[in-house]
Chain A
């Protein structure tokens, strides 16, 4: 193993500094992409589970809204539970302050829920831009490294005045390695970006649906009180 692997490593260290820079950058990018992918996968799993748990409790009707609020307020959720907590806080604050007119309450709750939805979506979409950028720009960066490497290897061919394959091949191989790393970074980035974009859309729809339903329930309560 040692000799050949050392050869590969030395191939990397003998590369032109631009190629080296590109390869190192793409390696770091690849690590970053996978870190984001792991993070997001876990985040979405958590969000889905929390949303499912809350909605089951909510629609079962076993607990009052106040009890639900007490259960989920400390959970620091990022799904429909956060939406419910935000809306119920606003409701409680308005009721406890003995606001005369309940007419504005509906609008306030809806605004509050909209803000919460926007915040949660922003939280889910964070760093997805990195995936999109790596997915689209990674191959180009790798290609740039390859072009730079081939340029330098051709210069070395011209300098040594020898066109045998043994002189040409290593430089081109190391240059192509840059494109390979670019693709290795870009392909998972693109796949994960598509996957997470769909996931974000699904969660946003879920949040908006719940917000509509919950504001309908609250508006009925407001009308009953008014």
Chain B
């Protein structure tokens, strides 16, 4: 039993050493180029995207009409299709020929004549005149044929061509599918200047690095100031920051001054990306020692 213990213990040690070696050789695979940047998209971002973009082309021209597009044929149902088709032919058939006729008027006269003549003669019915009548009918027939040839041809195949062959159940394509361009958004939507998480935290870091607290202010001081900052696209300040709000404190003015100084000294803030300029053009920065000194 002791030899078994020794063998087992040696085996475990060997396996663990081997495991450490393989772990050590496989571990340093921290290639920065393989890192995928993760951006957290909140519902707030989505709703702000609906506000539109500043640089979208102005489109006051009417959007193209959303016509019926005959593509969505997946919704075919087998059962109801058989019934409606013959109805469409019979309903739309008669009116169509009427569009053409006005120029080539079919003579309605010959037919009533042909009909009236036998009617008048029928009361005085004479069997020997049937043959005459038949002969007269034969004479009339060629005339009638000629007239029917002149009248618009009623051709079933032509009607089929005139019919709308598109699926009657095709769906309307909405305007958004046809107009896939950025919209300007609502004209009076508030420009909610909220930066993306990365840029915002980088901006805050830079600020806290630049900021030196005035005497009497440390990380536990409960004080804050809100500064409205207008930026230029290059990240520098367009004008000195303006105090919007602040806590009532004897340290307040000195604190606000130090915050303004930090902003002015550290410009330009290059971590704010130009492509997001509309979002950080006009920013209200919350300044508090608790955030800045941590």
Contacts and interface: CB of A to CB of B under 8 A. Distances in A.
B150 to A, nearest CB: 90
A36 B4 contact: yes
B219 to A, nearest CB: 13
Contacts of B24: 1-5
Interface stretch (B5-13, B138-146, B173-181, B280-288): B5-13
B4 A4 contact: no
A8 B23 contact: yes
Interface residues of B, number: 15
Given A35-B1, A35-B4, A39-B4, A1 B9 contact: no
A174 to B, nearest CB: 14
Interface string B1-45: 100110111011000000011011101100000000000000000
Majority-rule SS of A interface residues: helix
Contacts of B21: 1, 5
Contact of B12 (A31, A36, A38): A31
A3 B23 CA distance: 11
Interface in B76-120: none
Contacts of B25: 1
Nearest to B19: A8
A12 to B, nearest CB: 11
A8 B24 CA distance: 9
Contact of A32 (B7, B8, B28): B8
A30 B9 CA distance: 9
Nearest to A161: B294
A35 B20 contact: no
Given A32-B5, A34-B12, 13 more contacts: A2-B24, A3-B24, A4-B20, A4-B28, A5-B20, A8-B20, A8-B23, A31-B9, A34-B7, A35-B4, A35-B5, A35-B7, A38-B4
Interface of A: 1-5, 8-9, 27, 30-39, 42
Q: Which 8 A-B pairs have the closest CB atoms?
A: A4-B24, A34-B8, A5-B20, A35-B8, A35-B4, A38-B4, A39-B4, A35-B5
